[in-house]
Structure 1
Amino acid sequence: MIRPLRLLFLAPFSQAAHCPGLEYAGGLARALGRPLHIAAFTDPHGVESAGPAGAECPNVVRQSALAQRQKWLKDESARLQEKGVEVHPEVVRASSSAAEFAAYAHRIEADLVIKDMQARPGLAHCGLLPQDWEFLSVSPVSVLYVQPGPMQIRGKFLAAIDMEFQAKEGDSDNHAIIEAARHLASTCGAALHVISVYDSDAPGQGDLSRYDARKQDFEDFALQHGIAREHRHFIPGAPANAICAYLQRSAYNLLVIGVANHHLMPSGIGLTAEGILENAGCSVLAIKAPGFGEQRKEMLRDIAV
């Protein structure tokens, strides 16, 4: 995702009048000077949203839903085109499932998928729904989840890296994260900050000399990537909790993190990443580890036909 060539926005199922993710995607496409693909999924077989009446005239209900979807997409595309965005809209007649989303992104060779964060029942803040977690796990490319609120692609970006993981020979994930964040921040005119957490409670991490060594590694890494000294943040604590607490007392517009790169869970996302995504409180760009697309290629090949 260092130089994204194809941006894909996955429209929410409900045609809401205000769609923060689409606003963000349009602004990002303008800043990058790239076209924006918009996919609005509609299930060709489902009439569940129509209620019991849909069972009597399923074809009429399906055609009505399709017409509404097409009108929404046409109107939104025209609005973005008036702002100078090159738009490629498509109504996709397939179920709005994580597997279908991932297959579509793979089929059009998307470089970055953009999606809205959704309101969660019983909670005051928006976040990832079960389908979002599933999609992030199977997506062949990085995903940007947009927090509701005023659209702003500038401001301050924060990239989170893991120096303990960086110490492992041959690791390239942190470099991919910081380069993607730096390119995006530069293009959008945003200030880029970098954070890393020293997990002092982990086994063998209580040694002060080890802390000093990791901090120096962090300073060297940030310097290598041109990060200003005042934009470097090396803090102790439990990684997910420390980063979320830092975000709560700071004003960042976007957090950039890596997923599927360490502490792997069956979902393929990672303990630390899952904890951060659950409580970030801002938009989040989840960078897939290098080579992740190859790991999912076999699974997607049968779907993307």
Structure 2
Amino acid sequence: MFLPMRLLFLAYPQAVHSAGLEYAGHLALTLGVPLHLTAFIDPHGAELASQTGAESPDMARERVMAQRHQWLKSESIRLQAKGVEVHPDVICSSAVECAAYAQRVEADLIIKDMQARPGLSALDWELLSASPVSVLFVRPGPIQTCGKFLVAVDMAFQSKAEDNGNHSIIEVARHLANACGAALHLISVYDSGTSSHGDLALFDARKQAFDALASQHGIASEHRHFIPGAPANAIRFYLQRSAYDLLVIGAANHHLLASDIGLTAEGILEGAGCSVLAIKLPAGAQSPKAVEEARQLEPDLIRS
């Protein structure tokens, strides 16, 4: 099970005091873990390109890096005054190489600001796809850490034979919720669009499995949300009419999960309306064997 011990905040594309940086500092202090504060400068980005008219590329890069170092120094002093252990660094490298950098510093969690518009940018999706570790995208605006966390699980792939990731996702979310003093809620969508008319038995079986999973993790009945619909739309609409501070979903290493929540993750995240934690799961979390065993399990659940 993943528990964050080293946090990495990516100050990209701008090096400014932001909601993401504030969140990263709060989380590092709450968990009692170090924070790597890193400013990336894209050597082929617009920032350096705009500077090269009056000076050489090397001079422009050195000047921008000096500005980043000064910014990191001031932010580090501010965070250290609060008791956060900070490790500042400036990297002149392509932003898509952030994932490799996270491995080098042995980070367990990457924290990055979302763009001003709803959802994730193309860069965010590239980072999420390439990152070997979990990624927390922080929504712009006032930071709310002691509120409500929503965990999305996919009961279509729930299996008694092996953990498909649902248990790990819930445990990580619970660890963070307890540390932040947040209430933990659980949601799953019964995909009514892929089932034939009258599949009440299958719906009841999935709902029964969902309640069993929630009970196993001590989630109160009023914090359980099992709803029908198209997964992406149902979760997005639910988030829009509810006040949650963090959505927690699973993502397999190097690609999104081959499940309803995974395949429709982009649709969910484009309108999530809150911060999002994408937890990277082992590559075998949704193995064909697990999927087949889960499907074979459903008739037994229906007959019971």
TM-score computed with the length of structure 2 as normaliser: 0.86
The one of 122, 127, 149 aligned to 1:157 = 149
* Paired AA for residue 156 in structure 2: E
Contact 1:11/1:41 (CA < 8 Å) preserved in 2?
yes
Q: How does 1:1-305 map to 2 (within 5 A)?
A: 2-16=2-16, 18-43=17-42, 45-46=43-44, 48-51=46-49, 54-58=52-56, 59-96=58-95, 98=96, 100-119=97-116, 125-167=117-159, 169-204=161-196, 206-260=198-252, 262-263=257-258, 270-291=262-283
Preserved contact between residue 244 and residue 276 of structure 1 (Cα < 8 Å)? yes
Contact 1:192 1:227 in 2 (8 A): yes
**Whole-Å separation in 1 of the counterparts to 2:163 and 2:153:** 12
Provide the secondary structure at the position in 2 that maps to 1:25.
Answer: helix
Amino acid at match of 1:113: I
Larger displacement relative to structure 2 (252-261 or 207-216): 252-261
1:172, 1:290 within 8 Å by CA — same for their partners in 2?
Answer: no
Deviates more, 1:183-192 or 1:200-209: 200-209
Residue equivalent to 2:292? none
One-letter amino acid of the counterpart of residue 54, structure 1: T
Amino acid at match of 2:142: P
1:262 is displaced (CA, Å) by 3.6
The question of whether the paired residues in 1 share the 8 Å contact of 2:149 and 2:248 is answered with yes
Structure 2 alignment gaps of length 5 or more: 286-304
Structure 1: which 5+ residue stretches go unaligned?
120-124, 294-305
Q: CA deviation at 1:204?
A: 4.3
Quick one: distance in 2 between partners of 1:12 and 1:88?
16
Residue deviations 1:121-178, cap 9 Å, x none?
A: xxxx432111111110110011000001111211000000011111474243111110
Structure 1 residues 39 and 185, CA gap change in structure 2 (3 angstroms):
same
Q: Please, what TM-score do these two structures have when normalized by structure 1?
A: 0.86
Deviation of the 1:206 alpha carbon:
4.4
Show CA shifts across 1:253-281 (max 9, x none). 0000112364369xxx9322121111101
- Report the secondary structure of 1:54's partner residue: coil
The amino acid that maps onto 1:218 is F
Work out whether residues 38 and 89 of structure 1, in 8 Å CA contact, stay in contact via their aligned partners in 2. yes
- C-alpha contact (below 8 Å) 1:194/1:227 kept by paired residues: yes
User: Letter of the aligned partner of 1:65 in structure 2?
Assistant: V
Q: Distance in 1 between matches of 2:198 and 2:271?
A: 27
Tell me the SS of whatever aligns to 2:194. coil
For 1:41 and 1:4, locate their aligned partners in 2 and report how far apart those are by CA, in whole Å: 22
Identify which range, 154-163 or 6-15, moves more after superposition.
6-15
Aligned length: 281
Residues 49, 19 of structure 1: alpha-carbon distance in 2 compared, 3 angstrom cutoff? same
RMSD: 2.2
Q: Which amino acid aligns with 1:157?
A: F
Distance 1:60 1:275 in 2: 43
Distance change (3 Å), C-alpha of 1:292 and 1:31: farther
Contact 1:193 1:231 in 2 (8 A): yes
Alignment partners' CA distance in 1, 2:83 and 2:51: 42
Structure 1 residue 51: Cα displacement:
4.9
